Amino acid sequence: MSRARVAVLVSGSGSNLQALIDAARTPDHPAELAVVVSNVSGAFALERARQAGLPTEVVSHRDFSERAVYDAELVRRLRAHAVEWVCLAGFMRLLGPTFLQAFPMRVLNVHPALLPAFPGMHAPRQALEAGVKLTGCTVHFVDEGADTGPIIAQAAVEVLDTDDVEALATRIQAQEHRLYPQALALAVSGRLRLEGRRVLSA
């Protein structure tokens, strides 16, 4: 079986990267990780990638004066690894049209909320402050907005009366680690289609 070549873009510790690594090691998963790229040279996610025997690249956004030029360099690096799909896993940069047009509807992200609720930073804190009883996580296609792309999959997490931000975030993250590899498998297998903003089973 031919497996889709996937790049993972990271900025931090890489716990979702680890979930993708673990999933890709199973023989029936349709994706293989081709390269891990970070904009932060000291990101622990790079160490996770090295321990897994994966190629790594560091492309610091600070070395580029314009986002389009930075995005073009990212595309060049990924093309060198024959990448077909891209997963964002705690990548703290917005990607512009230069990048997204290179991988049309082939860039995925996971977000710690039930989008469209609580986009952007600090979603678990936003959920607690809003007093919601349910939150969760979302895997979505990436567009030019911030957490606004079509939704592939979601998982709900109950907000407990005893929750603080850390406790809630930990339970959400556990669902992210389960959901993200599943959503990636659906996407790269060609089992999804887009109608308007709805992502449906093909």
pLDDT tens figures, 57-84: 999 999 999 999 999 999 999 999 999 9
Split into its structural domains, the chain has a count of 2
Q: What is the DSSP string of 48-93?
A: HHHHTT--EEE--GGG-SSHHHHHHHHHHHHHHTT--EEEEES--S
How many C-beta neighbours within 10 Å does residue 92 have? Answer: 14
Residue 111 confidence (pLDDT) above 70:
yes
Query: Is residue 129 located within the same domain as residue 79?
Result: no
> What is the pLDDT averaged over residues 146-166?
97
Query: Is residue 77 located within the same domain as residue 113?
Result: no
Query: Is residue 100 located within the same domain as residue 126?
Result: no
Residue 164 CB partners (closer than 8 Å, separation 6+): 128
Residue 36 pLDDT: 98
Query: Is residue 119 located within the same domain as residue 170?
Result: yes
CATH of the domain at 138: 3.40.50.170
Domain boundary among 57, 85, 104: 104
Query: Is residue 193 located within the same domain as residue 180?
Result: yes
Residue 139 pLDDT: 98
> What is the pLDDT averaged over residues 138-151?
96
Residue 1 pLDDT: 64
- Binned at pLDDT 50, 70 and 90, residue 202 comes out as confident
Q: Which residues are catalytic?
A: 111
Q: Find how far residue 14's CA is from the centre of its chain.
A: 10
Query: Is residue 122 located within the same domain as residue 156?
Result: yes
For 173, the domain range is: 109-202
Query: Is residue 40 located within the same domain as residue 97?
Result: yes
Domain boundary among 83, 104, 125: 104
Query: Is residue 100 located within the same domain as residue 114?
Result: no
Residue 18 confidence (pLDDT) above 90:
yes
CA distances from 78 to 5, 8, 12, 196 (A): 10, 10, 19, 29
Domain boundary among 44, 70, 104: 104
Query: Is residue 94 located within the same domain as residue 118?
Result: no
Residue 16 confidence (pLDDT) above 80:
yes
Question: For the whole model, what pTM was predicted?
Answer: 0.96
Query: Is residue 51 located within the same domain as residue 30?
Result: yes
> What is the pLDDT averaged over residues 14-20?
98
Distance CA 147, CA 143 (A): 8
Query: Is residue 5 located within the same domain as residue 70?
Result: yes
Query: Is residue 71 located within the same domain as residue 164?
Result: no
